[in-house]
């Protein structure tokens, strides 16, 4: 009953096996092997357009290097006020960019409100130029609270961004879960909706360590190879990431694992809704369930072996949460089993 996080899981057997399959033999280092090149092409197929792909070590690196690619002097990027980039990455994007800032924009359930975004960007318009230069907008898909943007919602945001001349970045740490949730194509969810650059995460969805910056807008990626080198994210044995992605994409494994994780969250949500002792904070389209439990109940479940996190700050839930209650997060992954979820369901029902 481990719902702590999807990065507590290990690697999917197919991915692990493919790594072993590629263990022998010599291959050109630093991203130029035949396998690396094949995987770059595979990304272009999946995105249905020519893309540039840069493997990196972590999702944080993908985000911070994406911001570096968009960097301007005195730069300001606009993100949701609960974005991972501002809340969880220890200032990495500020560090990578030599001081560019993240300006928080409000929005319901983890999603930037396009009107609020427009107002936020306009605060940096000509009259207030001394504040800095707008440089990018970034959204997280699926969001930090487990919700997803529809393609139309992304388009609404990209329209605001592009009207102000700003590229749109997508933090896709849970990219696959979002694709599975809104049942669309990669192209629709990204460049057809105006996304210019993506942090493409495979780690949370069954890889060991497979993250990449995927550049969709050819105006952006020019310097990324150099920025990555200087940021010490240039792998000598790059093929060990390629081997993971090879298996990840084969037979749509990545969508299968994401759909499974999402289904496990739906099952978990149903169990919580059915229980008398807990309720959903909001509906979980992807693989994260947020629920309100009494602290006693949470402790009881944890004592019985369930792992999940107290989500601290109640995101606009004041008044909806009782004094003895709190918000809790449950994450499912490719490795979550029906049995695990049902065991938890029995426990919470008890």
C-beta separation of 203 from 221 below 8 A: no
* Residue 83: DSSP 8-state: -
Distance CA 126, CA 129 (A): 5
Question: CB neighbours (10 Å) of residue 310?
Answer: 12
User: Cβ 85 to a copy of itself, closest distance in Å?
Assistant: 10
| x/- letters, 89..128, toward a copy of itself (CB under 8 A) | xxxxxxxxxxxxxx--------------------x---xx
| Number of shown-chain residues binding a copy of itself (CB under 8 A) | 84
One of 34, 50, 88, 219 touching a copy of itself (CB under 8 A): 88
- Binding to a copy of itself, residues 199-228 (CB under 8 A): 203-204, 208-209, 223, 226-227
Query: Closest by alpha carbon to 237, among 24, 15, 72?
Result: 24
16 touching a copy of itself, by CB under 8 A:
yes
| x/- letters, 289..328, toward a copy of itself (CB under 8 A) | ------------------x--x-xx---------------
- Binding to a copy of itself, residues 49-68 (CB under 8 A): 56-61, 63-65
One of 37, 41, 230, 320 touching a copy of itself (CB under 8 A): 230
24 touching a copy of itself, by CB under 8 A:
yes
C-beta separation of 264 from 338 below 8 A: yes
One of 42, 44, 48, 74 touching a copy of itself (CB under 8 A): 74
Distance CA 46, CA 38 (A): 12
| Buried/exposed 176-189: b ≥16 CB within 10 Å, e otherwise | bbbbbbbebebbbb
User: Cβ 155 to a copy of itself, closest distance in Å?
Assistant: 28
Nearest to a copy of itself of 312, 319 (CB atom):
312
Distance CA 89, CA 312 (A): 17
Nearest to a copy of itself of 184, 302 (CB atom):
302
Nearest to a copy of itself of 43, 96 (CB atom):
96
Q: Tell me how far apart the terminal alpha carbons of the chain are, to the nearest angstrom.
A: 16
User: Cβ 286 to a copy of itself, closest distance in Å?
Assistant: 18
* Residue 149: DSSP 8-state: -
User: Cβ 128 to a copy of itself, closest distance in Å?
Assistant: 7
One of 48, 116, 133, 270 touching a copy of itself (CB under 8 A): 133
Q: Which residue has the tokens 């006693």?
A: 296
Angle at 307 between CA 303 and CA 313, to 5 degrees: 105
In the chain, the largest separation of any two C-alpha atoms, in whole Å, equals 62
283 touching a copy of itself, by CB under 8 A:
no
């Amino acid at each position: 009953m481990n719902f702590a996080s999807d990065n507590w899981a290990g690697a999917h057997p197919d991915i692990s096996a493919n790594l072993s399959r590629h263990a022998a033999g010599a291959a050109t280092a630093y991203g130029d092997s035949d396998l690396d090149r094949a995987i770059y092409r595979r990304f272009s197929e999946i995105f249905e357009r020519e893309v540039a792909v840069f493997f990196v070590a972590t999702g944080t690196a993908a985000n911070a290097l994406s911001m570096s690619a968009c960097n301007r002097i005195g730069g300001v990027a606009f993100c949701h006020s609960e974005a991972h980039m501002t809340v969880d990455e220890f200032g990495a994007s500020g560090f990578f960019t030599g001081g560019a800032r993240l300006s928080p924009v409000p929005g319901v359930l983890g999603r930037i409100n396009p009107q609020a975004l427009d107002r936020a960007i306009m605060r940096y318009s000509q009259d207030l130029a001394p504040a800095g230069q707008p440089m990018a907008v970034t959204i997280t898909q699926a969001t930090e609270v487990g919700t997803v943007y529809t393609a139309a919602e992304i388009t609404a945001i990209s329209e605001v961004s592009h009207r102000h001349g700003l590229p749109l970045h997508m933090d896709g740490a849970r990219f696959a879960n979002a694709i599975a949730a809104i049942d669309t194509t990669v192209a629709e969810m990204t460049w057809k909706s105006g996304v210019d650059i993506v942090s493409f995460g495979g780690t949370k969805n069954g890889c060991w360590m497979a993250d990449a910056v995927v550049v969709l807008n050819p105006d952006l990626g020019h310097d990324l190879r150099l920025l990555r080198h200087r940021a010490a994210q240039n792998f000598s044995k790059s093929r060990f990431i390629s081997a993971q992605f090879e298996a990840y994409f084969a037979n749509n494994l990545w969508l299968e694992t994401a759909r499974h994780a999402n289904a496990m969250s739906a099952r978990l949500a149903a169990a919580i809704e059915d229980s008398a002792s807990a309720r959903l904070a909001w509906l979980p389209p992807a693989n994260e369930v947020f629920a309100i439990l009494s602290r006693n109940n949470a402790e009881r479940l944890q004592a019985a072996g369930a792992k999940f996190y107290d989500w601290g700050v109640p995101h606009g839930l004041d008044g909806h949460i009782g004094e003895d209650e709190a918000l809790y997060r449950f994450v499912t992954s490719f490795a979550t089993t029906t049995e695990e979820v049902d065991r938890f369901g029995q426990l919470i029902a008890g």
